Structures are given as C-alpha cells and as structure tokens.
C-alpha cells in the first residue's frame, strides 16, 4: 500500500475573491420540457442506507452511520447482493467517517474509489473490485492529512482541491501534492453580516465534479442557485431557478427552521448536471410531496425538469440501464426510466 503524508498550511495571509453573489445570475424561469416519472419499487433491504452509488454494474447502498458496515453492494443487473465491506474503526483498513465525492477509476486494476475520512485524517483509494473478490476491505493507497480538511475534497492528478466551508466564508483551496504547496485560496462566498445570530452554514451546498475533471457544479441549499465553474475560475456561471436569488440578509433574517431548502443534492454525468429541488421549509422538507430534478448541461443551459411522485431524498444515475434510482426517508428504493433524457 502506498502512503503520502501531507502537511497543510494552517493559515494564509491573502486570497483571491470570486464571490458568486457579485456576478449577474441567469434566471431560469421555466424548463424546455417537463416529464413525470413513474417509479418501480426495488426490493432491497439494506438497513441504515442514506445514499445510493452506481458504478458500472454495481449498486452501492451507502450507510453513513456505518451500521454493520458502510457499503452493501448489489448487482444492477440482477439486484443480487455481492457483498459488504468498509467497517467502522481506527485500523488501517477501517473508517470512522466516509465521504465519497463521485471520483473513481475503472481500469485493469478494477474499480477504485477515493474515500475521504476526516476523523482518521486520510483519503484512501479503496479497491471495490478486489474487496468483493476477497470478501474484505482492500485499500490500494492512502494520503494522510495533518489536520481535518472539512468540506468537499477532490483529487485531480497531483492536486487536492478542498471546498472548505467556514461560518463566514467558503474557500476553494488547491494543494499541489508534488510540491507540498498550498496555492492562494479563492474565496467563493463572503458573508457581509458575520455577527448575525443565524449565520452558521448559510452557504451550505453540495458539489459534483464533471467526470473529465474540467468543471464543478454546486447546488446551494438555502439559495435557489446553481453554480458552474472551472478549477481556476476562468469559467464561471450562476443560475437562479424560477426567481432571482434571495439576498443573504433575507436568508439570515429567516429562523433556521423556517428557511427554505432549495437544493439538497447535485449529481452529474459527462453530459448533464442533475439537481434535486426541494423548495420547502427546513422543518418540513421531508414531508410527502412531489419532487423535481432539474437537468442542465455543463454550459448552464436548462434541458428538462423531471417530476417524481415519491418523496426521494437522494438519487443516483445508472447510465448503463438509463435509469435513475432514488431513496426515500423510509429507506424505500425506486427506479425510474430516464432513457428520454440521458
């Protein structure tokens, strides 16, 4: 197993500001096409599943709390269970927390996934194929961190990119592994009201990286906004959905439980960005209702709106079978035909 130890700069004196709220947003008031999907329930029992992951012909039921293990693995062709792996602990092949940001390899060495464990201060290259074959967790290499790097962590060649959420700001940090150097951070968002009592997590968002590693897309939880940008921020586009983006002050002045949750998740393929649109107060966003998934291309052009009768809280795309799989808060899994828009 290969190990790399990183020592991150603990502080910095300057940064570039690239505030998405300072740019002129494109308002998407409607989508070219609306399609209602009808789901088929899948009979899979994986107790504690929070998220679904599909890689090639494998369906992973990801249990964020590590109930028995983190991953239950099934075949997308037969829905037969193929195994379970990734146990909780502090051992070399164990995890105290897992964050998966959609990055994997599928080559002669098998399917390998980058997994981030903030609690154990490491990023591991997990070999899914060998773990299924050997019926135990196989880690090909690790990058050890000297401190918790909170937020989304993406590895692009010899570069680690971390989208770091501070209470008052969000920083886009680029760390060169080959030279052991932290580049000048980019401030993505700045809160002009840092002393406000409700300012925590104001810029919360979910982020996906295009499979060719060229662009990111982030959906904001408390703003009706999708941001598409390159790692050097030379390309940047912000979309406001249905109405102009509410002001920071407006959101801050709304009590936490009454804040509107706009987007809870964003995912992507090479062709499209898929964003799960909630548009409900924080206190009731998981109540039964129809759900929308908004589809955009990587240039920010709106493509289609999918309407889903079930109240799914998470989804993943099965490109091979042209399906979307979603899971509800009751851990019921549904599959939907999306051959018309994939």
Tell me the per-residue pLDDT of 194-207, one tens digit each, with 9 for 90 and over: 776 666 678 899 99
CA atoms in the 13 A half-sphere facing the CB of 29: 1
DSSP 195: T
The share of the chain scoring above pLDDT 70, in percent, equals 89
Band the pLDDT of 266: cuts 50, 70, 90. Answer: very high
End-to-end CA distance of the chain: 38
* Contact yes or no for 299/235 (Cβ under 8 A): no
The CA-atom distances, in angstroms, between 320 and each of 26, 77, 148, 192 are: 32, 10, 36, 46
CA–CA gap between residue 172 and residue 271 (Å, rounded)? 24
Range of the domain at 303: 21-337
Q: pLDDT tens, 33-64? A: 999 999 999 999 899 999 999 999 999 999 99
Report the CATH number at residue 78.
2.120.10.30
* Contact yes or no for 166/141 (Cβ under 8 A): no
Residue 101 lies in a domain: yes
Phi-psi region of 218 (alpha: psi -120 to 50; beta: other; left: phi over 0): beta
Pairing verdict, β 272-281 and 291-297: antiparallel
Question: What pLDDT sits at residue 9?
Answer: 41
* pLDDT reading at 76 higher than 90: yes
Higher pLDDT, 2 or 128: 128
Residue 8 lies in a domain: no
Question: What pLDDT sits at residue 86?
Answer: 97
Residue 301 lies in a domain: yes
* pLDDT reading at 178 higher than 90: no
Pairing verdict, β 186-190 and 16-17: parallel
For the entire predicted model, the pTM comes to 0.91
Residue 5 lies in a domain: no
* Contact yes or no for 149/162 (Cβ under 8 A): yes
Give how many domains the chain has, as a whole number: 1
Residue 179 lies in a domain: yes
Residue 15 lies in a domain: no
DSSP 57: T
Residue 135 lies in a domain: yes
Residue 10 lies in a domain: no
Point out the least confidently predicted range of 76-80, 89-93, 129-133, 333-337: 89-93
3-state secondary structure of 248: helix
CA–CA gap between residue 310 and residue 36 (Å, rounded)? 11
């Amino acid at each position: 197993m290969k190990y790399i130890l990183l020592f991150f700069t603990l502080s910095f004196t300057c940064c570039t500001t690239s505030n998405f709220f300072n740019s002129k947003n494109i308002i998407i008031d409607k989508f070219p096409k609306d399609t209602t999907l009808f789901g088929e329930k899948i009979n899979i029992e994986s107790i504690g599943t929070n998220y679904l992951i599909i890689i090639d012909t494998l369906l992973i039921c990801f249990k964020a709390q590590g109930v028995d293990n983190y991953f239950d693995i099934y075949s997308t062709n037969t829905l037969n269970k193929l195994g379970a792996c990734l146990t909780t602990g502090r051992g070399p092949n164990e995890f105290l927390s897992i964050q998966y940001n959609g990055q994997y390899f599928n080559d002669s060495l098998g399917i390998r996934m980058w997994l981030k464990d903030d609690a154990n201060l490491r990023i591991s290259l997990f070999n899914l194929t060998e773990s299924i074959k050997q019926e135990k967790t196989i880690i090909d290499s690790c990058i050890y961190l000297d401190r918790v790097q909170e937020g989304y962590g993406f590895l692009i060649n010899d570069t680690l990119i971390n989208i770091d959420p501070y209470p008052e700001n969000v920083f886009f940090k680029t760390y060169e592994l080959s030279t052991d150097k932290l580049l000048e951070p980019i401030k993505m968002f700045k809160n002009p009201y840092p002393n406000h009592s409700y300012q925590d997590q104001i810029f919360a968002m979910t982020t996906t990286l295009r499979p060719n590693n060229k662009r990111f897309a982030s959906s904001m939880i408390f703003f009706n906004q999708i941001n598409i940008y390159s790692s050097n921020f030379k390309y940047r586009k912000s979309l406001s959905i249905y109405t102009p983006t509410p002001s920071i002050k407006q959101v801050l002045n709304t009590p936490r439980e009454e804040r509107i949750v706009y987007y809870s998740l964003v995912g992507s393929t090479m062709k499209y960005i898929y964003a799960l649109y909630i548009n409900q107060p924080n206190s009731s966003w998981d109540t039964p209702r129809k759900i929308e998934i908004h589809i955009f291309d990587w240039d920010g052009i709106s493509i289609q709106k999918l309407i889903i009768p079930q109240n799914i809280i998470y989804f993943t795309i099965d490109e091979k079978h042209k399906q979307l799989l979603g899971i509800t808060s009751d851990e019921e899994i549904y599959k939907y035909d999306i051959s018309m828009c994939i």
